[in-house]
Chains A and B, each alone.
Chain A
């Protein structure tokens, strides 16, 4: 496999390419000025709280897959899989939110609204409806 040549004439190794790709994933936070440390830590704590919510949903989904038995074939997966996926989605959205907030604080801009709150509320409501419907159908069938 050919290794691309760099402007200085050197060749980029596999490891070098991987580091460049990783660098592109890093948020661009070299803007504006350092915010008050309390705000940086508060933003990080908010992200961690969302991460725990995501982990909780993943754990809850796993428990639902093992414990729930509606007597309707694989119906329990209708509760388990959305909960696990919602956990993953919340992890992604909360990271994005942390990045957007960090940039806004550095630039002295307003923080704006978080779409994660709506996502979580909607997701839990959907899970509640699915669980209720399945529980009622299961009770009728039995």
Chain B
């Protein structure tokens, strides 16, 4: 759970940096969608952390589930953030 929450905080921090870059370069059109996505991802990661904690209670019955969709979503958001950040850095 804490690993998910740490990741949520990291996503939020990158969102703040993206917004700052958007303001500095007057490119809020690029920055706001990316930052919004990162904030959404952050909320999702936080809630998912809570779900993982709840799953702990049922481990004896079902074993641990592989959260491939959540991990793939996080990969997608990170890639979009990377592409958007590179665009912000180049198109300044």
A residues bordering B, Cβ < 8 Å?
25-27, 29, 34-35, 37-38, 40-41, 44-45, 47-49, 51-52, 54-56, 58-59, 61-63, 65-66, 77, 80-81, 84-85, 87-88, 91-92, 94-95, 98-99, 102
Contacts and interface: CB of A to CB of B under 8 A. Distances in A.
Contact of A55 (B10, B24, B71): B10
Nearest to A25: B72
A50 to B, nearest CB: 10
Interface residues of B, number: 37
Contacts of A102: 66
B39 interface: no
B90 A48 contact: no
Contact of A85 (B3, B14, B18, B86): B86
A88 B83 contact: yes
A81 B72 contact: no
Contacts of B81: 55, 58
A44 B69 CA distance: 12
Contacts of A95: 71-72, 75
B14 A58 contact: yes
Interface string B77-92: 0110111011011101
8 closest A-B pairs (Cβ-Cβ)? Answer: A88-B82, A37-B64, A65-B89, A40-B64, A91-B78, A34-B63, A48-B3, A95-B75
Contacts of A63: 17
B7 A84 contact: no
Nearest to A53: B10
* Most chain B beta-carbon neighbours within 10 Å: one of A26, A41, A102: A41
A92 B89 CA distance: 21
A41 B52 CA distance: 9
* Most chain B beta-carbon neighbours within 10 Å: one of A34, A55, A92: A55
B72 A52 contact: no
Given A87-B78, A87-B85, 19 more contacts: A25-B72, A34-B64, A44-B66, A47-B71, A48-B3, A51-B7, A52-B6, A52-B10, A55-B14, A55-B78, A58-B82, A62-B14, A65-B21, A81-B90, A85-B86, A88-B82, A88-B83, A91-B79, A94-B75
